[in-house]
Amino acid sequence: MLCARYCYVPPTPVSSSIIGQGTCALSTMAKVIIPTPVPMYAVPSVTATYSDWIVSDEVNSTTVTDIDPIAELTTNYNPILAFATEGGLTQFRPVMIRSKGANKKLILSAEI
């Protein structure tokens, strides 16, 4: 599975598939770990349609408006991403990232 070191797309076979878990850092941003099957080659870049994803704490859900890697927190083993929203999150509450539909793509790319 060497190619996963350079590109990984978490599977989302059904609507509301969970691809990562984390914590709300602010009412408008969650920091989330996206597990990968093998270590990435480097800190990955992210390609995604933001509106395909929601941040959910099981009480509230809000649509994602931006996704960025947090380089200073990310290791090759655990990409940590900042998921921005327009608000509605509760600071310090645990959250998960869910797909808005089946077969949505969030591409982590660590090309040289």
pLDDT computed for residue 44 by the predictor: 87
Question: What range defines the domain where residue 7 resides?
Answer: 2-109
Q: Which amino acid is at 8?
A: Y
Please report the pLDDT score of residue 56 as a whole number.
95
Q: What is the pLDDT of residue 3?
A: 59
Domains in the chain, number: 1
Report pLDDT for 2.
Answer: 47
Q: Which amino acid is at 49?
A: T
Q: Measured between alpha carbons, how far is 54 from 30 in angstroms, rounded to an integer?
A: 11
- The confidence score (pLDDT) of residue 68 equals 94
Report d(CA 55, CA 40) in Å as an integer: 24
Separation between Cα atoms, residue 87 and residue 8, nearest integer Å:
28
What is the three-class DSSP state of 64?
A: strand
pLDDT score, position 33? 95
Q: What is the pLDDT of residue 71?
A: 82
Give the pLDDT of the chain (112 residues) as one tens digit per residue: 445 678 999 999 999 999 999 999 999 999 999 999 888 888 888 999 999 999 999 888 999 999 999 988 777 678 999 999 999 999 999 999 999 999 999 999 987 6
Partnered with residue 96 across adjacent β-strands are 21, 56
- In whole angstroms, give the CA distance from residue 30 to residue 53: 12
Residues 6+ apart with CB under 8 A from 108: 7, 8, 9, 34, 36, 40, 44, 45, 46, 79
Give the pLDDT of residue 18: 97
